[in-house]
Amino acid sequence: MSALPATDDLPDDSILIVGAGIAGLFTALKLAPRPVTILTAAPLGKGGSSTWAQGGLAAAMGPGDSPQLHLRDTVAAGAGLVDGPAADILTKEGAARVEDLIKLGIEFDTDAHGRLKLGREAAHSCDRIVHASGDQAGAAIMAGLTRAAQSAEHITIRERIVIEELLRDEAGHIAGVLAVDIVKGTRLMITARETVLATGGLGGLYAVTTNPVRAQGHGMSMAWLAGAEIMDAEFVQFHPTALDVGVDPAPLATEALRGEGALLVTRDGGRLMTGLHEDMELAPRDIVARGVAASIGAGDGAFLDARAAVGTRFEDMFPTVYDACRKAGIDPVSEPIPVAPAAHYHMGGVRTGLNGESSLPGLWAVGEVACTGIHGANRLASNSLLEALVFGARTAAAITDGDGETRTVDVSQLMQRLTLPTKPAPDALAKSLRAKMAAQAGLLRDDRGLTDLLGDIDRDFAQPDITSGNFNMLIAAKLIAASAKNRQESRGAHMRADYPAHSATPTHSILNRSNAGLDIEISSRSVQTSSE
Ligand code: SIN
């Protein structure tokens, strides 16, 4: 493959969105009538983790609920690191964004009176999760957004395009992407006035994940390489109840099952959460995940027992989980489901302001790749799809309000990376990195493990057959490991065996690229409270 990319310039005022999950599609729709091009590695609607989301949308829409209560639960789950102004926006604007989806024809579950049926998930103080077809919210929302995007005149969708690097112009503005057309096998340089990353998360960096394996944090890596600030990379959320049936990625058993009363039990039937938290199965997710891991580690096993709480209603209420259980030879109506924690969601990512803007002009981030600060150290269940909608809409509004200046692209600094082969990461490197991330940067961390991991990652960069896929995967792993090593405390999803206590003052980790090489500079930033 040639080191020199073909140029594929879009009109000067165009907007590029990388990623076609819920964040990317919703942002694109909200940008109407401005011309938008969406790049997606998979055929539209077929890739990414959005479609797999089982939980739903947390929004204060029910009787007795309010944005203030939702805010309070979000802040409590986030273990001192939730940014107040961002979470305030999320909880106040959430209901209007759910209404937007309803107007697009997306059908959510309703009761006999036609009112939205609201479910409960861990650490929510009231019923506020909007579901679709039981456990198929992600699929329903994606189907509706896909239909709308396909018929929107302002949106061009380019499938089977994988991005490898962000382009910067002479003034340091992000001005598009370098990409590969994976059908033609050619490299492209696609320029745009505004570039929006909606590339999703990074569970695929871990041996056990509920995400598609190719979700390996490439968007965050490319943003950091281009000079954008990354925030709180160390906070990776593990879902406590992935099916432990030897499948990669691991199928999820939604938290809504515990919301319905399903119990976590050991092999001998004892309650696994006894003594760990007063809210038992509905304790914050990090606590439940560590409880499940400890029970497995002690040889007692971990099982989700839905027999009494859900029983024969299982297939109707949770068709996706039911199907995954049956494929694994388990009947959840009559037997407990073996479960284990799995990497599920990245709270950290590209640091953004309240309108999706990154620290680099021309670069925006929405959805899981972004770090708005609303999740803090531990995301409240079902806040992520809502975040994608709320901040996607705000990003679109801010871009629309922009000044319309045009930019030129200087490619001279990009040639070195372009000599890397573009094929996906060879399995051997990815497999060994995923195992090391699980062991050393997973649910329990310490200085020694993280130091060893960082040494291994640095050695892997020097491997002779490294591809651009490997390279971006290693950068993402390095950002997480370096930030985890630097945070000498335990907080939310980040648990250090050698620093088990909270520090007195919570701070965000800010990661910058300190030079032209791959050295990471880490500093602290104070948490914004609502009154600031
Ligand atoms: C779940 O359904 O348990 C996942 C929901 C979420 O991750 O927010």
Q: Is 254 in the pocket of ligand 1 (CB under 6 A)?
A: yes
Q: Supply the pLDDT for residue 531.
A: 46
Nearest CA to ligand 1 atom 5: 55
Q: Is 384 in the pocket of ligand 1 (CB under 6 A)?
A: yes
- The CATH number covering residue 287 comes to 3.90.700.10
**By residue range, what is the domain housing residue 422?**
416-500
Pick the range with the lowest mean pLDDT from 9-23, 33-47, 314-328: 9-23
Q: Supply the pLDDT for residue 2.
A: 40
Q: Is 382 in the pocket of ligand 1 (CB under 6 A)?
A: yes
Q: Is residue 280 part of a domain?
A: yes
- pLDDT digits over 350-393, tens only? 999 999 999 999 999 999 999 999 999 999 999 999 999 999 99
Q: Which helix or strand (DSSP H or E) is residue 128 part of?
A: none
Q: Is residue 47 part of a domain?
A: no
Query: Residue with structure tokens 């999760």?
Result: 129
Domain count, the chain: 2
pLDDT tops 90 at residue 171: no
Q: Is residue 109 part of a domain?
A: no
Of 277, 306, 341, the position where a domain reaches its end is 341
Atom of ligand 1 at shortest range from CA of 135: 2
SS3 341: strand
Q: Is residue 172 part of a domain?
A: no
pLDDT tops 70 at residue 6: no
Please give the distance of CA 107 from its chain centroid, rounded to a whole number.
24
Average pLDDT along the chain = 92
Of 341, 359, 375, the position where a domain reaches its end is 341
Marked catalytic residue, from 187, 285, 351, 434: 285
More confident of the two residues 466 and 493: 493
Q: How far apart are CA 254 and CA 466, in angstroms?
A: 37
Highest mean predicted confidence (pLDDT) among 40-49, 285-294, 463-472: 285-294
Q: What is the DSSP letter of 436?
A: H
Query: Bridge partners of 174?
Result: 168
- pLDDT digits over 192-204, tens only? 889 999 999 999 9
Q: Is residue 488 part of a domain?
A: yes
Q: Is residue 316 part of a domain?
A: yes
Cβ-in-10-Å burial (0-12, 13-18, 19+) of 278 comes to exposed
Q: Is residue 370 part of a domain?
A: no
Of 341, 366, 394, the position where a domain reaches its end is 341
Closest CA to 200 of 368, 27, 379, 43: 368
Contacts of 166 (CB under 8 A, 6+ apart): 174, 176, 177, 178, 195, 222, 223, 225, 226, 363
Atom of ligand 1 at shortest range from CA of 383: 8
Q: Is 134 in the pocket of ligand 1 (CB under 6 A)?
A: no
How confident is residue 10, by pLDDT bands cut at 50, 70 and 90?
low
Nearest CA to ligand 1 atom 4: 55
Known catalytic membership, residue 459: no
pLDDT tops 60 at residue 80: yes
Contacts of 490 (CB under 8 A, 6+ apart): 496, 499, 500, 501, 502
- pLDDT digits over 404-414, tens only? 555 555 555 55
Order of strands, sheet of 15-18, starting from the edge strand that comes earlier in the sequence: 155-159, 36-40, 15-18, 194-197, 363-365
- The CATH number covering residue 449 comes to 1.20.58.100
Q: How far apart are CA 335 and CA 333, in angstroms?
A: 6
Q: Is 54 in the pocket of ligand 1 (CB under 6 A)?
A: yes
Under 8 Å between Cβ of 397 and 150: no
Q: Is residue 273 part of a domain?
A: yes
